[in-house]
Amino acid sequence: MTNKLLTYGALLMCLAAPISASAQGIIGGAANGAEKGNDAAGPVGAIVGGAVGAVTGGIDGLLGLNQRPRFREYVVTQHRPSYAFQENVGVGVILPPTGVEYYDVPMEYGAQGYQYTIVNGQTVLIERRSRKIVQIID
């Protein structure tokens, strides 16, 4: 039973590894889950906790729950203009290449390679190349 669980846990971690390269929240979630799982149930708990933490971290998005208020405060101090977008603002929406001002996310927030902007009064994180909204900072 333990060997099966270890095998399945290792397989799950291998499948999750490529995803973690592109989403910062997954890495932190996996590390936190593995640590808590190890404390609770040893090595098997670490494997299962890491996998569950990775999923949770991915759901939390690029900026974790603890970073959002600090980042939101940073954005407010920058006094950036809001772009009036005629469509609904949501994750996956691609913004136009012109008319929108895109700003780099400071390194301290751990979302290198991403930008932010203000759309219809909402702060959103954007994939640099595609201009796709990847997270809405509430």
Picking from 66, 71, 61, 70, the residue whose alpha carbon sits closest to that of residue 25 is 61
Asked whether residue 131 falls in the same domain as residue 79, the answer is: yes
Task: Out of 43-52, 54-63, 90-99, pick the least confident.
Answer: 54-63
Predicted pLDDT of residue 114? 93
Evaluate whether 75 touches 121 at the Cβ level (below 8 Å): no
Cα-Cα-Cα-Cα torsion 30, 17, 109, 57, nearest 10 degrees, comes to: -40
Is a pLDDT exceeding 50 seen at residue 23? no
Predicted pLDDT of residue 120? 95
Asked whether residue 97 falls in the same domain as residue 48, the answer is: no
The tens digit of pLDDT for each residue in 72-120 reads 899 999 999 999 999 999 999 999 999 999 999 998 888 888 999 999 9
Over the chain, what is the mean pLDDT? Answer: 74
Tell me which residue range forms the domain holding 85.
68-137
Predicted pLDDT of residue 56? 41
Asked whether residue 74 falls in the same domain as residue 49, the answer is: no
Q: Given 60, 88, 109, which residue is the final one in a domain? A: 60
User: What are the backbone dihedrals phi and psi of residue 125, each rounded to the nearest 5 degrees, phi first?
Assistant: -95, 140
Confidence band, pLDDT 50/70/90 cuts, at residue 125: very high
Predicted pLDDT of residue 4? 61
Q: Following DSSP, what letter does each residue of 72-98 receive, concatenated?
A: HHHHHHHTPPPB--SSPP-TTPBPPSS
Is a pLDDT exceeding 80 seen at residue 69? yes
Is a pLDDT exceeding 80 seen at residue 47? no
Q: How many domains does one find in the chain?
A: 2
